[in-house]
Amino acid sequence: MRNVILLRFLIFVSVLAFSTFLIGFGLAVKDLLMPTASPLPSLGVGGEKPSLEKDSLTIVSLGDSLTRGVGDGEGKGYVGRVVERLKSIEKRKVNVTNLAVSGATSQDLIKQLSVPGVRYAISEADILFLTIGGNDLNPGFEKLDKIDPTHFTGDLSAFVTRGKKILEEIRDVNPDAPLFWLGLYNPFEDVLPGTNRTVLAWNRQMEDLSLSVRSVYFVPLFDLFHQQTGMLYSDHFHPNSKGYEAISIRLSSVLINVLGTGGGEKH
């Protein structure tokens, strides 16, 4: 009798184990054949998108090493300095996502804007900062001895085409957030005489592009660095702490003015 009970118990356990195996196998096959999407990480921003009238702001910064803050001995860059000013003046919480990549060109940024996580972060932004174009134009200090100033022009036409696409991509995912596009300065004017004209031509095109797209504001920097090599880092390309401070003061002034006049309105 005991043997019969033991046998029945073993059969029951075997059936249960086999059934569990079949269920698990079936779920695994289902996941392979009909996968479900995983939720996109919030990148530190969640819930209802705050408006400019609420108690918090979400800033997303895009572009190159200037937005990364390369050369700033204090490690703040212009983004960190502007955020400090906003917190002290606006008295509200500020969330920041810095997506800038050192060395990025306009073509690199276009590729980045196709990444779902990047597009999501942009869609959640209340304010956008952008620096792009410097690496499209400038050859780098290490190549200056090989550059003919008369040919220091870059491919402006191609840059304009890419710049337009960048603004369109950003507006596609976030139609309203004010975008502040920082202009170019000329770090090589003391070693490449005659190149200011080219930099100014690029700035004019960037400003024209900004004026053609809703809620995009061009922030000029050329005058801040004109004949001011003391605001450059040792690489003679990026700003130093003094340079980033000057940029942040200029951008903060424009930004606060825009926020005070309803930054989402067309200019």
Which residue ranges in the chain fall short of pLDDT 50?
1-7, 9-51, 261-267
**What's the Rg (C-alpha) of the chain?**
27
User: pTM score > 0.85 for this model?
Assistant: no
What's the rounded Cα separation, in Å, for the pair 87 and 242?
A: 21
Q: Which residues contact 37 (CB under 8 A, 6 or more apart)?
A: none
The whole-number pLDDT of residue 88 equals: 84
Phi, psi of 18 (to 5 degrees): -65, -40
* 170 φψ region: left (φ > 0), alpha (ψ -120 to 50), beta (else): alpha
The whole-number pLDDT of residue 70 equals: 97
The whole-number pLDDT of residue 89 equals: 81
The whole-number pLDDT of residue 37 equals: 28
Element (H, E) at 87: helix 77-90
SS3 percent helix, strand, coil of the chain, rounded to 5, is: 50, 10, 35
